[in-house]
Amino acid sequence: MTLHEPGYAGGASATRLDVVLNVRSCVSEDMERTLRAIFQTHFEAYARAHRLPAYVHRAAYWISHCRTAALGGHLRRCPEGHSARAFYNSCHQRICPQCQGLATERWLERQRARLLWCAHHHLIFTIPHELNALWCWNRAPMAKLLFGAVRETLVELLGDPRYLGAQPAFLAALHTCRRNAGCIMHITYIS
Ligand SMILES: [Zn+2]
């Protein structure tokens, strides 16, 4: 089977989701290709110079091959048989803008729906950079410790009448990398 680059199929048989997916693909094509190209061009040399956990190698492989023939493909067809089109498979890595853009927008929409009609505060909690290596090899327990410590701190301080005297509610998201690819472990809170 010959696979083609994803594109807007058009026609009466294209669903709204198909249109959204393909429009987004066209709009951010340059940025997506750049990220994939960075991994394809530089990751091998970077991995030789740095000791990296296996999950990083796996993620780099998937992102480097996102929507290419290496990951295989699938066929989308109209149930009425009017049209059919082949697409390369996505890598589904959470930092891949090429295939996670729609999932990101949907996540943001769900979080927006949870916000209350009041002022919110944006807080960032991070760990000393000296602990970055420890984090890389112990991600789950380190993340659990960080989330727990921040939750206890917020509840204790904001529950104190000297500061707020109330029980806070908050949304938290863990960030482990910057957009410029530098490593940083921190939790972003909206409370
Ligand atoms: Zn991808």
CA of 35 to the centre of ligand 1 (A): 10
**Tokens at 63, concatenated:** 């992102």
Q: Does position 6 have pLDDT exceeding 60, yes or no? A: no
From residue 26, give the alpha-carbon distance in Å to each of 30, 137, 164, 179. Answer: 8, 37, 48, 21
Q: Using a cut of 0.95, tell me whether the model's pTM lies above it.
A: no
Kindly state the average pLDDT of the residues 157-176.
87
pLDDT tens-digit map of 19-73 = 334 434 444 455 445 688 889 999 999 999 988 888 889 999 999 999 999 999 9
Measured between alpha carbons, how far is 122 from 189 in angstroms, rounded to an integer?
Answer: 6
CA of 99 to the centre of ligand 1 (A): 4
CA of 180 to the centre of ligand 1 (A): 18
**pLDDT class for 178, splitting at 50, 70, 90?**
low
Higher-scoring residue by pLDDT: 174, 46: 46
Higher-scoring residue by pLDDT: 48, 188: 48
Measured between alpha carbons, how far is 112 from 93 in angstroms, rounded to an integer?
Answer: 23
CA of 25 to the centre of ligand 1 (A): 11
**Tokens at 121, concatenated:** 């505060």
